[in-house]
Amino acid sequence: MTTHAAPSTTPGRSTSTLTECNSVAHDWGFEKKFPNAELLSCRDPLGIEEDDEGLYHSSLYVNRPKLTGSARYLLETIDGSGIPSDLRLVHIPGLSENVPYEFARNRTERLLGLLGLRRSITLGHNAIGIRGEHDTSNRVDVTLEREEIIRKSSRKDERNILLGSSMGSVILSDIALRNSTSKKPFNIAAQVYVAPAIRRDGGMTLPLAANFGRQLIMDGLRDTAFMGVRQQFHDAKVVKNWLHETSLNLHNLHHQVDEVLGASIADELALVVSLHPTVVIVGEKDKIADIPLWKELAASYPDTMRLVLLKNRGHEILTHPERTARKIAKELKEIGLAA
């Protein structure tokens, strides 16, 4: 991986000037469209399997929303040369999946290679991974902010594959709903929900939290039993880093769980499922996902929705980004979405 020139700065410290990047593949048009976005670092990711000699270039930003009370958040764009594609991947990861960390980043990069896509944008959650930020925004404000970024950064005639992981699925479904009535809609080629935290009852109740805690323990034990020693060591390091990062964001995580994990209206979700090809991938043991809701929608909209239930799996499918990416790519290719 090549890392390009960048001044010494971290997400927790602001700088008044943009980072300079010496890569010819860097998209300086993004900074012009979003002057509140501060460029933190750039790199040429090597984790993308390329089918030609094209170059992939990644740029990590911290963005300050226009709305009062909204904290800054991280976002990452990837642009590639080579054979062009009219498809772009838009990823909204899980709440505790910091954008530049392995879970979210590997899921995005692996999908770009598997599908032959040349562009992506990953939109993080307010204050996650940024020291000193305090978020007071609500679900509507978060949706409005992300919807504007997606719309303004989309190129003419570009089709967007929307990917929502866990609580990112909640925001993604709200964005798709808003886009359906927008005067300036962006093009949605498909939407993918992985381990979606969308629920009809909403909220993190005590029984739900207890069930989720027990599920995480069982998921961990099951993973340990079926993986090799080397993979166990690697995953342990990744999970340790994730837990450390999560511990630094607890006050913002608590606020956003209260705000984002609210009830979703089944009729509104049915509308966006009916409008766009939809793939839902969920472990059959997932205690966060509302599996009965997805089964109902799959039965009602068999022409537009594909429900993939993974046997003996729970919410931990998010901790296996490459495996999950292969499953997503397989489903999208079957409906004709690949470069």
- Domains in the chain, please, with CATH? 2-334 (3.40.50.1820)
C-alpha to C-alpha distance for 60 and 122, rounded to whole angstroms? 9
Crossing angle of the two packed helices 266-275 and 291-300, in degrees rounded to 10 = 50
Q: Which residues of 88-100 are buried (b: 16+ CB within 10 A; e: fewer)?
A: bbbbbbbbbbbbb
Query: Which pLDDT does position 213 carry in this prediction?
Result: 63
Which residues in the chain come in under a pLDDT of 70? Answer: 1-19, 46-54, 68-69, 82-83, 202-249, 263, 339
Return the closest-CA partner of residue 282 out of 222, 172, 198: 198
Cβ neighbours of 240 (radius 10 Å): 10
Amino acid 144: pLDDT? 92
Structure tokens at 242: 């994730």
Strand partners, 76: 60, 122
Q: Strands 37-44, 159-165: parallel, antiparallel or unpaired by DSSP?
A: unpaired
282's tokens: 């969920």
Q: Report CA-CA distances (Å) from 248 to 84, 104, 121, 264.
A: 40, 18, 25, 29
C-alpha to C-alpha distance for 269 and 75, rounded to whole angstroms: 26
CA angle at residue 112 from 127 to 180, to 5 degrees?
65
Please give the pLDDT value at position 192.
Answer: 97
**pLDDT value of position 49:** 59
For residue 8, the model assigns a pLDDT of: 35
CA nearest to 192, candidates 330, 15, 11, 28 = 330
Q: How far apart are CA 141 and CA 330, in angstroms?
A: 34
